[in-house]
Amino acid sequence: MIGPIPGFRDLKTEPVIEARNITAGYGRLTVLRDVSLRIEKNSVTAFCGPNGAGKSSFLKLCLGMLRPREGTMSVMGTRPGSLFFRRTLLRIGYVPQNTAGGSLPTTVREAVSMGRYGMAGFCRPLSRLDKDLVDAAMEATGVADLAKRRVQELSGGQTQRVAIARSLAMEPELFMLDEPSSNLDAEGRTDLLRIIRERQEYKHITVLIVSHDEDTIAGCRDMYRFTDGRAEKIFTGQEAING
């Protein structure tokens, strides 16, 4: 029997995200201190904790937007910021806290289609499959009826739905959302939880959520509580809420 090939990683068993003793910050400000954690494949994980505790900064580390001062970081088998990480980014959907429509006169369909241009390339027209994925993402998030509206004309909740649809159109393997329910009403939060459950169950994606919303946290399998830049793993949504 042929054994494992030296130097090759088994991506089927490797965690999607692994941080070891990460310390990071902005200038002289340290926002993450000796953080070690693992996000397993096909899991739904929540980060909870007070504002300024380092939750959003950890997502930026995962995207290569922030570099660690100490420790090692791996996302889908590659180091954020490395030469090969640009290809990894095409497999990551990210919804930031601030989802403002921007200054360009963009329609909802055009904004959601941006999720496919990263895959197809900006110089190539979208294929029929690309357009079908855009339609499916808009339908799933309830913005299909707004397809021709300008994003700048939308409410905060509608803009949030468009941002989620754009990331879904990418067909990501890792889906990261930073306070995704902050601008959503009760119906929008229910829809968000449904989308997360369906994508995780049927598409087998990995979901990472930063949230203060109790319902969203309670729906997650694994949780980390961030306090003063440190992360502690907890196991049930109720523990996170009562903590």
**Sequence-ordered list of residues with C-beta below 8 angstroms from that of 154, at least 6 positions apart, any chain:** 101, 108, 146, 162
- Domain region containing 143: 105-171
Could you give the CA distance from residue 84 to residue 203 in angstroms, rounded to a whole number? Answer: 24
* pTM, rounded to two decimals: 0.86
Could you give the CA distance from residue 7 to residue 90 in angstroms, rounded to a whole number? Answer: 24
**Sequence-ordered list of residues with C-beta below 8 angstroms from that of 44, at least 6 positions apart, any chain:** 196, 200, 206, 207, 209, 219, 220, 221, 222
* CA dihedral sign of residues 48, 52, 53, 55: positive
Predicted local confidence at residue 13, as pLDDT: 64
Could you give the CA distance from residue 162 to residue 111 in angstroms, rounded to a whole number? Answer: 7
Among 171, 189, 209, residue at a domain's last position: 171
Predicted local confidence at residue 189, as pLDDT: 87
From first to last of the 243 residues of the chain, give the pLDDT tens digit: 344 434 434 455 689 999 999 999 999 999 999 999 999 999 999 999 999 999 999 999 999 999 999 999 999 999 999 988 999 999 999 999 877 666 567 899 999 999 998 766 666 788 999 999 999 999 999 999 999 999 999 999 999 999 999 999 999 999 999 998 888 888 888 888 888 888 888 889 999 999 887 777 777 888 999 999 999 998 654 454 455
For residues 134 and 182, membership in a common domain is answered with no
**Sequence-ordered list of residues with C-beta below 8 angstroms from that of 152, at least 6 positions apart, any chain:** 101, 102, 103, 105, 106
Among 117, 140, 171, residue at a domain's last position: 171
Q: How many domains does the chain have?
A: 2
Predicted local confidence at residue 119, as pLDDT: 64
Could you give the CA distance from residue 241 to residue 220 in angstroms, rounded to a whole number? Answer: 12
Predicted local confidence at residue 9, as pLDDT: 46
Predicted local confidence at residue 120, as pLDDT: 60
* HSE (side-chain half, CA atoms, 13 Å) at 213: 22
CATH code, domain with 14: 3.40.50.300
* HSE (side-chain half, CA atoms, 13 Å) at 69: 13
Residue length of the chain: 243
Q: Is residue 56 part of a domain?
A: yes
Among 145, 171, 197, residue at a domain's last position: 171
